[in-house]
Structures are given as C-alpha cells and as structure tokens.
Amino acid sequence: MQEFKLIDPVTYPPPKEGPTDPAVIKMFGGRGPIFEGSTVEKMVADMDETSIETAIITAAPASSSAGRYNVGQRIDDRAFDAACREVADIIARYPGRFYGCAAIDPTGMMKAVRQLERAIRDYGFVGCFMLPGAIGLPHNHPCYFPIYAKCVELNVPVRMNVGLPGFQAHAWCRTRSIWTRSF
C-alpha cells in the first residue's frame, strides 16, 4: 500500500491562551482544546499523531485597524518583524517540519513590498498570504499589483482566502457588494 505524506497548508503559531472574541466563544461554546491554549511542542505532537509531515506556518502580526469599514490593517514594521521572528524560531527548532508564509497587507503599498521581501530573504519564508476580507478591498484592486509582481520576482506563491470564517469580526465582506465588483 502506498503511503502518502500530508502537508497542512494553513497553520499559525499556536496561541498561548484561548480566544477572547465573543463570536468565537459563542461559535465553539467556550470550551474544548481551542480555549486551553497550546505550545509548539503540542502542535508537533498533534502533527505526528495525525501523520502530518510538514506545515506552512503563517506569520500574521496583529493589525491596528478597528471597525468594519476600515481599509487596510496598518501593520507596522516592528509587529511584522516580531511575528516573522516567532515563526522563524519555530522553523529553526523543527527543521523540515515547518515552512514560513508572511501575511501581507497590500494597502501598505511599497512598505508591504519591503516587508514581503524581508520575510522571504531574511527569514527564509516560502510564501505570501493575503486576506481581502480583512483588508477591505477585493483581490483585483490595484494595491495588490506590487505584491503580485514581487511574488513573481521572488518566485513565491500567493495564498489568498476570498472569504472569512463566520466567527471573524470583519465578516462584513461576506456581503455581496464587495465581491460583485471583483468578478
């Protein structure tokens, strides 16, 4: 029988404590493993238990935007580099188990291009992630174009979610208006 190697393409550093977002608490009932917090060691043990050989782990710094009608996430360089360092440390501790992906806010324009380039060249990341719903602009808005061009130049893939899980605060993007202009 042929053995398959599994890759988890979407992971994040494990949270040290459970979520506090009321929508998440409501969706998951406020109990269970998601509310206990975790460690990288537990994450690797879970990967071993479920035969996941490799995971793409995303450095996603906290944004400073608030409210449902903001455009952009306003990721500053200090927060971006801290998130990248956290993921790079995980990758260094478990070589071959994790590969880094940088969450990028394209509304930062050239600042975002420089952040992406730093993530790939300085931290050894292998991909770019963007979330149009959290950013507030569809994937074909011109602010994405410099990021797309930099990804081509660096030969890295773009991972993009065109929606959000129902429990996320910026779920306004699930309304038809933002997407009808895209397609």
pLDDT tens, 95-140?
999 999 999 999 888 999 999 999 999 999 999 999 887 777 888 9
pLDDT at residue 153 in the model: 97
Q: How many domains, in total, are found in the chain?
A: 1
Task: For residue 159, give the CATH number of its domain.
Answer: 3.20.20.140
- Which of 149, 159, 156, 63 lies closest to 105 in space, CA to CA? 63
Q: What is the pLDDT of residue 136?
A: 79
- Token couple for 105: 């806010």
Q: Which helix (H) or strand (E) holds 58?
A: strand 52-59
Question: How would residue 82 be classed by pLDDT, with cut points 50, 70 and 90?
Answer: very high
Look up the pTM and report it: 0.80
Residue 1 lies in a domain: no
Q: How far apart are CA 12 and CA 15, in angstroms?
A: 8
Q: What is the pLDDT of residues 68-81, one digit of tens each?
A: 445 566 778 999 99
**Which residue range(s) make up the domain with 131?**
6-174
* Model pLDDT, residue 51: 92
CA nearest 156: which of 112, 114, 121? 121
* Per-position b or e across 105-115, b if 16+ CB within 10 A of its CB: bbbbeeebbeb
Does residue 67 have a pLDDT over 50? Answer: no
Return phi, psi of residue 138, to 5°.
-65, 160
> Is 180 part of a structural domain of the chain?
no
Mean pLDDT taken over the chain = 82
Q: Would 63 be classed as within a structural domain?
A: yes
Q: Is residue 33 in a domain?
A: yes
Q: What is the pLDDT of residue 72?
A: 62
**What average pLDDT does range 18-33 have in this prediction?**
71
The answer to whether residue 179 sits within a structural domain is no
Question: According to the model, what pLDDT value does residue 34 have?
Answer: 67
181 found inside a domain: no
Does residue 173 register a pLDDT over 70? no
Over residues 39-50, the mean pLDDT reads: 92
Domain assignment present for residue 93? The answer is: yes
